A and B are shown apart, each in its own frame.
Chain A
Amino acid sequence: MKKLLLSSVVVLIGFTFIARLSYLQLFRFSPDQILDDPAIKKVYDYPERGYIYDRDGKLLVGNQPAYDVMVIPREVKPLDTLEFCSLLGIDKEDFISKMKKARTYSPRLPSVLVPQLSKEDYAKLQEKMRHFTGFYIQKRSLRYYNTNSAANVLGYISEVNEADLKNNPYYVAGELKGRTGIEKQYEEILRGRKGVKHIQKDRFNRDIGPYKEGKLDTLPKQGQEIHITLDKELQEYGEMLMHGKRGGIVAIEPKTGEILAMISGPTYDPALLVGRQRSKNYSKLHYDTISKPTWDRSILAQPSPGSPFKTLNALIGLQEGVIDPSTTFRCYHGFYVGNTLRGCHCGGGVRNMNSGIYQSCNAYFAGVFRKIYDKYKTTDEGMDVWEKHMKSFGLGNYLGTDLPTGAPGRIPDKEYYDKWYGDNRWAASTIISNSIGQGEIAATPLQLANMTAAIANRGYFYTPHIIKSLGNSGSIDPRYTEPNYTTIDRKHFDPVIKGMADVYNYGTAKWLKIPGIDIAGKTGTVENYVKVNGERMQLTDHSVFVAFAPVENPQIALAVYIENGYYGARYAGHIASLLIEKYIKGEITRKDLEKRMLEKTLEHEYAKPYSGEPFKINEYVW
């Protein structure tokens, strides 16, 4: 018994050890431990982020070097502090406190001593740097903007946050990622792919050579450049015109669906979101909840479109065969719904399609609208047909652009009104406001511009997009090169376009003609309400304008939406006219018109609801 005691103990110990070791090495072992192995440090080699060019190859976004002065405290040798400080442009106290901070963080690891030196300071410092042991200059790359416009389109990049790290294993803390706009949409193309080196470290975090002789290392893949469809000059000019105004402008090339300009007012200089001041500036922009500069009105604002919408009702009337261009309706300075007179500013009289459009007669389009519904036995059927036609113009749903944000707008359907009024408790006369683009209709400026492009093309549109050519291959998603056909036959467009051209010849925009260019357009003046402190109040009408030019062979179709700009022909009409001239002619001949737009602001309108005093809307004088 006693002889066996020690043997049993030895065997028991052996079994216990092997059990514990199998727990540690077989059960608890996981092959991706390399990820949290403190002894293997990954060092990344970041490729340069791709440049962004406009449609003509003009640089919009590039990169600029920034120079951080780094220090490894324990490698610092005694130095001429005064000279060093004067080179860095800091005073001695500052230098001492920064050195102390760096030493506290780690004597062995590099800390930033002075971030983002200017190029001039860097040049001066570079020659002298070898005198200062323990300090070195680390080059970093920041975005450089060759324009001060298109901030919302281009988007910005910022450091990845915890959610990004969790969702995408590619990113490592401290890396940059596209947050909005093109930077977000084409992140992977612009970013490229970082290279990885595995470095074996000791417990003091010192390099002791490559891990496995670099077998696991990868080379960086360069970020690719992209060309976008914006026209730099048109974009910059449009933003100048938007000075002091809120609203959105979208211009599209009808024969390709390429977005020529996407302007949101107010806007900001994209360079504000770069470098040391980024975070401060971002908060300032983001928390401006009244003018909302980061809210891209060109794709997110969803006002009622107003009168430009009439052109679609005309087209549907023609397609359904309920009217022809010569069909007339009488305008009694308005039209009757039951016994109520709804107003009209066209001047009254008998209207056919042509004068109905260029005089923007409400009564004419109310008549057309009723006829569309009267064709069908039930309002429901009429509604379905109307909705189908409307949606074929890209309204009432996301367009499917390559912009990371967007809004669907609204084309109401029968379910919508059944819920609102009850089943069979509504008819065409109930929803008659839809005939003139008010009521429950909502559309973003992008949707309006696209609708205008579809009219300009006489019946089809290409899904609007911002990408012109992508990276090295140059190809883009085929979605953007296939036409989307509307439900309206080509032949019905001519009378409507004639009416839109006459808007400039005799109608609401006759003062905005451009010598030598035939334009087709349509004004819109949109009633709107706002709630301030729980009180609903009516504000000055929104000014809306859609147009395309030239009428034959259209090169540009655009929609302009100016908040509280009153008549469509005022702000929106002016801006549309100027942009068309700028794009087609390359210069502005009507300097008075331009001067007026550059100088006039609507700040006084925007201040009204917050003034706390009673105010007048739709003032005649401007």
Chain B
Amino acid sequence: MSGRGPLGRLDWLTVILYVLLVFIGWINIYSTSLSDTDTSLFDFSTMYGKQMLFIGLAFLGIVFVLFVESNFFERFASIFYVISIVLLLGLFVFGKTIAGATSWYDLGFFNLQPSELAKVATALALAKFLSDIQTDIRTRKHQMYAVIIILLPALLILPQPDPGSSLVYFSLFFVLFREGFPLFYLGLLIFMVVLFATTLMFGTVWVVLGMITLALLMYTFKRASVKIPILPVLGTIVLATLFSLSVNFVYENVFEQRHRDRFALWLGLEKDEKKLEEIKKTIGYNTYQSEKAIESGGSFGKGFLEGTRTKGDFVPAQHTDYIFSSVGEEWGFLGTTTVIILFTVFFLRLIHIAERQKNDFSRMYGYGVISLLVFHYFINIGMVIGLLPTIGIPLPFFSYGGSGLIFFSMLLFIFLKLDSNRLKDGI
């Protein structure tokens, strides 16, 4: 079997799912950017023509990935990481500004977005560091190193400003959790988010009362044999109360009105109908339009190229961050669920592949890939269908954009390449 060449052991199910997602994405870019004048599919002045070119470039990238030695990535992971950090730093001097964010290098035919490259590099570097024989994630020192590897690019991306892309790096913490980073931190994070949201929605008093009630219920219904010490519970409640109070302070005094408006919209805080309508039409304009577009698709959609709202350009950034609204409008519930199911199966397959790796580096890198992809998918679609506040990050494989498509593809295929080599690793 080992004689079958570099493609022989590739996980073809994943490849097929990948091709499907890229294809559906392109179909929708074609639909949203098609103009009245008929042009060829390969007219590179159009969005869909350019995206076609990017797909070609991504294919070249994939071929490159598949034909290099698989330990090339492990060996040069640190160098990639350093290069991408340098590139991110370089943006402060040579960066090209598009739509207010200095996130690109102008390469003439192509605008390179190093934050996309950095995602691959960081995932590789983190896997390399964690899989190093000398690294012990249970020690504070190594935990600290891991956190620095993750947060350094995020910190450099934040002032571009591109808070969305910067937020993406936090998804890599999942790799740490998988590899033994205490789950306590995850629990704490979730607890804080819940506290934050509930405080804004119901106020500190109700949140504290709620916590006390929960604690009392816990004591009432616990089995007699189970002992729960009272002090930590009390301590948690006190700390949570302090946190809750600080939320109000931060919300009122640190946040700016535009931030408050986003939260107000997301959590339904604004009760005044008129003001709510106003916020919806300004801050929430994107979400409002995209929700409307998706809603108007109904069960089976308006049909390919028939999406009136997306055609009319009512949904902003509809070929990039809001591409999913076009799926909703033209293909309806049938189309959206199909895409969701495709993504879900795709991720479950990747998780399965990651878990079957015998090589630590491969598994950890796999988890990095999955975490990044799931995070993008979750935030993007959550935003487009109005579940999450507006955070501008693309939908992997779908959204228009060269750097995104190329580096997501390389991110994925590096993992598939490592997987195709897993049997050799065992020897």
Contacts and interface: CB of A to CB of B under 8 A. Distances in A.
Interface of B is mostly: helix
A37 interface: yes
Given A21-B337, A209-B36, A40 B348 contact: no
A203 interface: yes
Contacts of B313: 202-204
Interface string A196-218: 00001111100011011000000
Interface stretch (A28-36, A98-106, A157-165, A333-341): A28-36
Interface string B11-46: 000000000000000000000000010000000000
Contacts of B333: 21-22, 25-26
Interface string B319-362: 00000000010001100110011011001100100010000000
A20 B387 contact: yes
Contact of B299 (A6, A25, A200, A203): A25
A21 B177 contact: no
B295 A29 contact: yes
Interface of A: 2-3, 5-7, 9-11, 13-14, 16-18, 20-22, 24-26, 28-29, 31, 33, 37-40, 200-204, 208-209, 211-212
29 contacts: A2-B183, A6-B174, A6-B367, A6-B371, A7-B351, A11-B344, A13-B344, A13-B374, A16-B387, A17-B382, A17-B385, A17-B387, A21-B337, A21-B340, A22-B333, A24-B294, A25-B295, A25-B299, A29-B299, A33-B295, A37-B296, A38-B314, A39-B309, A39-B312, A201-B312, A202-B313, A203-B312, A208-B312, A212-B306
Given A29-B295, A31-B298, A6 B374 contact: yes
Nearest to A17: B340
A9 B309 CA distance: 32
B378 interface: yes
A211 B307 CA distance: 10
B65 to A, nearest CB: 24
Nearest to B296: A33
A463 B326 CA distance: 63
Task: List 6 A-B pairs, minimum CB-CB distance, nearest first.
Answer: A39-B312, A39-B308, A14-B344, A25-B333, A29-B298, A202-B312
Interface in B375-427: 377-378, 381-382, 385-387
A25 B297 contact: yes
B348 A25 contact: no
A263 to B, nearest CB: 53
Given A24-B295, A26-B333, A202-B311, A208 B174 contact: no
Contacts of B296: 29, 33, 37
B386 A10 contact: no
B370 interface: yes
Contact of A21 (B183, B328, B371): B328
Contacts of A24: 291, 294-295, 328, 385-386
Interface of B: 36, 174, 177-178, 183, 291, 294-299, 306, 308-309, 311-314, 328, 332-333, 336-337, 340-341, 343-344, 347-348, 351, 355, 367, 370-371, 374, 377-378, 381-382, 385-387
Contacts of B336: 17-18, 21, 25
B311 A208 contact: yes
Contact of B328 (A25, A38, A202, A211): A25
Given A6-B178, A33-B295, A212-B306, 18 more contacts: A2-B177, A5-B178, A6-B370, A10-B347, A13-B344, A13-B377, A14-B344, A17-B336, A17-B382, A18-B336, A21-B328, A21-B340, A24-B294, A24-B295, A25-B298, A37-B296, A38-B309, A202-B311
Nearest to A3: B355
B343 A14 contact: yes
Contacts of B387: 16-17, 20
Which of A16, A21, A200, A204 has most chain B Cβ within 10 Å?
A: A21
A202 to B, nearest CB: 4
B21 to A, nearest CB: 15
Contacts of B343: 14
Which of A14, A26, A33 has most chain B Cβ within 10 Å?
A: A14
Which of A24, A29, A200 has most chain B Cβ within 10 Å?
A: A24
Given A10-B374, A17-B385, A37 B308 contact: yes
A414 to B, nearest CB: 58
Given A2-B178, A10-B344, A18 B337 contact: yes
A328 B47 CA distance: 106
B312 A200 contact: yes
Contacts of B299: 25-26, 29
B351 A203 contact: no
A10 B313 CA distance: 31
Contacts of A5: 177-178
A9 B377 CA distance: 12
A21 B341 contact: no
Nearest to A20: B385
Contacts of B371: 6
Nearest to A24: B295
A38 B371 CA distance: 38
A25 B294 contact: yes
Nearest to B298: A29
A39 B328 contact: no
A26 B333 CA distance: 7
A325 B231 CA distance: 120
Nearest to B382: A17
B312 A38 contact: yes
A200 B308 contact: yes
A14 B347 CA distance: 11
